[in-house]
Amino acid sequence: MLFPATLKIYNASAGSGKTFFLVKNYLHILFKSPNADEFKSILALTFTNKASEEMKNRILECIKEFSKKNVNKKYYYLLNYLLKDLQLTHYQLRHRSKKILDEILKDFSSFTISTIDKFTYNIIRSFFSSEKKLEMDTNNFLYEIVRNILYKFKFSEKWYTILVELSLDKLKEGENWEVSKYLYNLTKIMIDENSFFPLKKIKNYSSYDLMKLKNTMVKRTIKFEKKCKEQGEIFFDILKKNSIKKESFIHLDLPRFFQKMKTGNIFFHPLNKRLEKYMRSNIFLSKNIRKKKNNNQIELIEINKKKILSLYHKTINIYENNISSYLIDKILLKDISIFSIIHEIEKEFYLLKDEKNIILNAELNKILHEKIIQGLFPRIYEMMGMKYKYYFIDEFQDTSFLQWQNIKFLVENALSENGSAMIVGDPKQSIYRWRGGDVNQFINLFNYKSKIYHIISQTIDINYRSFEKIVIFNNSFYKYVSKFFDSFMYRNIYKKSEQKIYKKHGGYVELNLFSKKKISDYKEHVYFELKKRINKFIHLNYLLSDIAILVRNNDEGNFLSEKLIKDKFFVNTSVSLLIKNYAEIQIIINFFYIISYPFHYNKRILFISILLSNEFFIKEINHDFIMKIVFLPLDIFFEEIFRLLKNSKELFSIKNILNHNKSIYDLSENIIEIFQLLNSKNNVSSIYSFLDFVYRFMKKKGNSIIDFLDYWELKKDKESIIVSDNTNAIHVITIHKSKGLQFPIVFIPFADWNIHSNNKEGEWIKVNPHLYHGISYFYLKIKPYYKSIKNSKIHHFYEKYISDIIFDNINLLYVSTTRSMEKLVLFSDIDNTKSVSSYIKGFLHEKEIWNEKKQKYSFGKEEKKIL
């Protein structure tokens, strides 16, 4: 059978030149067409703004370069590829390039290389009035919902009681209980794409329906517990009536089993293999029980033995027929109140959205999917289906289920019209499951069968990024790691991950393994070793901008960034080097508080403390003096402070500061000047970043200092220093944000995160709707004890959850170790057996180079940078 079109799927490992590959195929379509505006029929979708800009810029650079007579050598490969493949002359290509470039510049908005989110939003805009605003700050919106709900719950006896019961349950389980945090986590479920389909069903159930379901489940569990209790009582009644002591049994396993039945201690499997073995062989009473007994007594023993055996088998039958649903009921009952609260959250969610007239960025995919299933397909088809004939989808492993469903029909429509589609991804770089990324749909796509198009899959396995020793290390290490996946699919992905080497020389890998138990301050020790390596590489001719430090989270990034800045290194960070941590910013903010709330004397004390600890005063100030000036009138208080400053240039006038015509921005500049805050290169970035924050606030909210302070408290944990990308500075970046980037030198200072760690606290489990009043899904908080429960559904649910988390955490390690071009340096705590470092240690064992006394292992040479 001949297919009219082909869906091409490429498994592109790290460093395989994925962007170049996409650009090459995009250009092929552009120059193959006789139409200079063919770009209007091409849609390229990427995962991030940075990736879309990079692809767009590369394409434009190529077209611009091809329009010249003398093409830069950098573009020779693509030039020759197009000339040969399309059988064009240099003149034809140059002429066509000029025409294409001219058409793009005339209609740049139709040059569609976009993120999936932006593309989705552009479609959605046509369904709503232009007044609807897109809200990007989802967290702030969710916190507002929580505040509103808590306020309402205070005046509702019913909901107040529910929250008290929930808090008591959490305390019994030994968990920390914060109502606001708990509600916030529930609000996150509202926007979680993985919750879309379960919540659609549950939202049709009222609080009354859920209460009826809860009663059904309670009755079911009580009925089963009662049956088990009866069986236990019968057993001990037999022993009592026939004077059979517990010592009469070979082991106490059988009496213990029935004791658990009697007391209802049946949640964890009450049987053990030894008991099952003895009961199968019918030998469970001691031989001594028959000694010195007459025939009638022996006959009675045999009768009782048969009674006990029959009772045991009957009990086992009751237990095994009911335990599965009982366990699920007991587990689900712990969290069934969640649904009632979700109802209230949902009401507040839509009320607040309507009030603010907004669409949340986090719900774009759900909104579009709703429109599609509501039958608005023809309108979307009319808008988009006829427009695009060629599709490119990048980073497909991070695409969510809904994202793919929303664009799948457009892709399939293009393919049915003899268009083409190219999907590129790498399951080993799937690190966004927590925000809906579904790697399984990429893996399953390789085996998908379609009646309207043909599928071609290919692996791009040449590593153009990293030097030889780095590629060899990663090939060898991840092949070793593959053996530890329980999932055949995940094991196979890493087992077949070997890459071919392009740069067949050089490269350096260094593993530094420390014992945290033997180091008093592990983080300080890692930083000390890291700094030594940075200085060494600088002496090897490397620039600061050649170096990237990859971290797991913002806390690690903040710690390292601040240490580096303190040691006079320039740092370019994306990990939120928070401006709130700088003394200069704390001085300005506390100044604002003091003039806005003159009688909040604690702010005055804090203000003096900051000035004192950062040596702003000309002399030491004792406690008595502080207490003397703290309670002075505002103007006199500031006069005393200013009199003691080291670098005062002018007399301080609080009246001038409180001038009502003065803007917050001008006031900030006054404070900076009065306290001489711009006194070193190290704090320039924090001050200018703060002034930028002030400017943005004023443009958006106005000129009220009190409103500004409220806004500051809301945003201060996110506002970070703005650093130019062109600065010669060390990059400190999270692993998530490093994806798609490359650096000559990569440090991973804390390569010891827990392989079982995950941000998500729960998952949806599918249940039999006939047993739960039509409900098919329940939301379960993941508990470690699930692995001990003898229930196939719960066991499979838990094992899959753990398997996915391990895969995600190994993927994080893979992404981080494949960013480097020339040198890769890791630091890890070797004591943590549950962390990724256990794989590093195991790998060294397999290589037979592990040594308990050795801390540093290296592969390759520390060569100088070639200038």
The alpha-helical segments, DSSP class H, found in 131-206 are 138-154, 157-172, 179-191, 196-202
130: Cα within 13 Å, side-chain hemisphere = 0
**Model pLDDT, residue 184:** 85
pLDDT band at 656 (very low <50, low <70, confident <90, very high): low
pLDDT band at 169 (very low <50, low <70, confident <90, very high): low
Comparing 96-100, 171-175, 305-309, 810-814, the range with the smallest average pLDDT is 171-175
More confident residue, 309 or 426: 426
Give the pairing type, strands 820-829 and 743-748: parallel
In 3D space, the residue among 697, 645, 700, 651 whose CA is nearest the CA of residue 676 turns out to be 645
pLDDT tens digits along 759-799? 667 888 899 999 999 988 888 888 888 887 877 888 888 88
**Are the beta carbons of 865 and 541 closer than 8 angstroms?**
yes
Rounded to whole angstroms, the Cα distance separating 855 from 665 reads 52
User: What is the pLDDT averaged over residues 488-503?
Assistant: 94
Tell whether the model's pLDDT for residue 385 goes beyond 80: no
Tell whether the model's pLDDT for residue 641 goes beyond 70: yes
pLDDT tens digits along 696-716? 888 888 888 888 998 898 888
pLDDT tens digits along 818-848? 999 999 999 999 888 889 999 999 999 999 9
Give Dmax (Cα) for the chain.
Answer: 116
pLDDT band at 295 (very low <50, low <70, confident <90, very high): low
Tokens 């046509």 correspond to 126
Percent of the chain with pLDDT over 70: 90
**Model pLDDT, residue 276:** 79
CA 153-435-438 angle, to 5 degrees, is: 135
**Model pLDDT, residue 213:** 92
**Are the beta carbons of 648 and 586 closer than 8 angstroms?**
no
Rounded to whole angstroms, the Cα distance separating 548 from 573 reads 9
**DSSP character for 619?**
S
**Model pLDDT, residue 469:** 96
Tell whether the model's pLDDT for residue 542 goes beyond 90: yes
pLDDT tens digits along 333-363? 887 877 778 888 888 898 999 888 888 888 8
**Model pLDDT, residue 551:** 96
- 238 is written with which tokens? 């037999």
Rounded to whole angstroms, the Cα distance separating 240 from 284 reads 18
Whether this model's pTM surpasses 0.95: no
**Model pLDDT, residue 171:** 65
User: What is the pLDDT averaged over residues 808-827?
Assistant: 97
Tell whether the model's pLDDT for residue 297 goes beyond 60: no
**DSSP character for 385?**
I
**Model pLDDT, residue 228:** 94
Tell whether the model's pLDDT for residue 368 goes beyond 90: no
Tell whether the model's pLDDT for residue 453 goes beyond 90: no
CA dihedral for 100, 101, 102, 103, sign (positive or negative): positive
pLDDT band at 172 (very low <50, low <70, confident <90, very high): low
Residue 67: strand, helix, or coil: coil
Tell whether the model's pLDDT for residue 665 goes beyond 80: yes
pLDDT tens digits along 587-623? 999 999 998 888 888 888 888 888 888 888 877 777 7
**Are the beta carbons of 571 and 720 closer than 8 angstroms?**
no
Which residues, including other chains, have CB under 8 Å from residue 787's CB and lie 6 or more apart?
A: 795, 798, 799, 802
Which residues, including other chains, have CB under 8 Å from residue 501's CB and lie 6 or more apart?
A: 463, 468, 471, 472
pLDDT band at 298 (very low <50, low <70, confident <90, very high): low
pLDDT band at 478 (very low <50, low <70, confident <90, very high): very high
**Model pLDDT, residue 379:** 64
Tell whether the model's pLDDT for residue 377 goes beyond 80: no
Comparing 116-130, 383-397, 736-750, 827-841, the range with the smallest average pLDDT is 116-130
**Model pLDDT, residue 151:** 82
In 3D space, the residue among 753, 749, 755 whose CA is nearest the CA of residue 824 turns out to be 749
Comparing 43-57, 278-292, 718-732, 736-750, the range with the smallest average pLDDT is 278-292
**Model pLDDT, residue 29:** 94
Rounded to whole angstroms, the Cα distance separating 750 from 829 reads 8
Tell whether the model's pLDDT for residue 384 goes beyond 80: no
Percent of the chain with pLDDT over 90: 39
Rounded to whole angstroms, the Cα distance separating 147 from 650 reads 46
Tell whether the model's pLDDT for residue 381 goes beyond 90: no
pLDDT tens digits along 188-209? 888 888 888 888 888 788 878 8
**Model pLDDT, residue 90:** 93
**Model pLDDT, residue 1:** 44
**Model pLDDT, residue 180:** 78
Q: Other CB atoms closer than 10 Å to residue 261's CB: what's the count?
A: 25
**Model pLDDT, residue 827:** 97
